[in-house]
Structure 1
Amino acid sequence: ALDQLDHHLGMQLATFTHPVLGRSTLNIGVIRGGSRPNIIPALAEAELDIRITPSLTAAGGALKLLMETLEFHDLPVEVVNPHENPPMETAPEHPMIARLLETSNITKLAGAPWFSDAAHLARGGIPSICIGPGSISQAHTADEFIETDALESGAAFFSRFIRSLTS
């Protein structure tokens, strides 16, 4: 069932695109099942990660699309403990973005296909940005770290940025 879900849902998700984030994606990141290699398991579990674009949210969201796909293709899957984190998008014209550009050495805005709790703030109407010191390639790794000079320059930036919001 997982290979069919990956095929059918993956094709549908590919239609929900964003100019910066790309397309919505599906990753079947964890699979558990069975007790021995020579015994067909009666049950298997999988954990899915669907990266959501604003256009998928506008169409009803990933969970809705997942449930419709399971039903349409009659896949023997039960969804347990679903949750859907919203995508986040702050307009480049927002005044907070202008302050960001004025107080940093950033010359180009970028987006990323990962989740941040800032998305919940944005969904609640609080304009949000994600920025910080260090390399995203070090984030969430066994040896996650930030170089001292990056931490110091990050602290200086945040000081300038926060002070600029009061002027």
Structure 2
Amino acid sequence: RTLALPSDPILGETTYNIGVMRAGTEANIVPGLAEVEIMIRLVGDVEPVKAAFTAWAGQRAELVWGSHIPAQHFQTLSGFEVEPVAYTSDIPLLDRWGTPLLFGPGSIHVAHTPIEYIDVAELDASVDAYVRIVRTLLA
């Protein structure tokens, strides 16, 4: 957690978490192999992040880099609350859809968990918000 990683004045700090850990088959025995998948939320260019993790790992670990989704700054509309959040989106993969907006009801704190839900009042309010978004974009 002391690794120096890039930050962005709007998006904040680069964040990461352990997605999956695999090691060993028996208790109290040092495994011959251990793997960890780390999910990194980028706030800028991927290369400084790769360099920081590579320097940190040194000869202690082999790093294999998977795919990455670039840091994202979305269009915002006046009259709507906005805030940066520490997760990513597949919106860059939908580049033929025009200028992206990211909005939706629900909480990132329960998203993709066994207890995921959307409050009914929030769902009702989102209908009005979608109407406001469309009217703003058409104006």
TM-score grouping bracket, smaller chain normalisation = 0.7 to 0.9
The answer to whether 1:74 aligns with 2:59 is yes
CA RMSD across the alignment:
2.8
Q: Which amino acid aligns with 1:117?
A: D
Change (3 A) 1:139 1:48: same
TM-score w.r.t. structure 2 length?
0.78
Q: Which moved more, 1:125-134 or 1:155-164?
A: 125-134
In structure 1, stretches of 5+ residues that fail to align are 1-6, 91-95
Q: Which amino acid aligns with 1:113?
A: A
Output the CA distance in 1 between the equivalents of 2:51 and 2:97: 23
Residue of structure 1 equivalent to 2:100:
128
The answer to whether 1:24 aligns with 2:14 is yes
Output the CA distance in 1 between the equivalents of 2:124 and 2:97: 31
Residue of structure 1 equivalent to 2:110:
138
The structure that is helix-richer by fraction is 1
- Conserved in 2, the CA contact under 8 Å of 1:23 and 1:53? yes
Matching residue within 83, 91, 100 for 2:67: 83
- Conserved in 1, the CA contact under 8 Å of 2:25 and 2:31? yes
Residue 64 of structure 1, CA deviation: 5.3
TM-score w.r.t. structure 1 length?
0.67
Name the SS for the 1:47 alignment partner: strand
Output the CA distance in 1 between the equivalents of 2:108 and 2:29: 42
The answer to whether 1:116 aligns with 2:116 is no
Residue of structure 1 equivalent to 2:42:
52
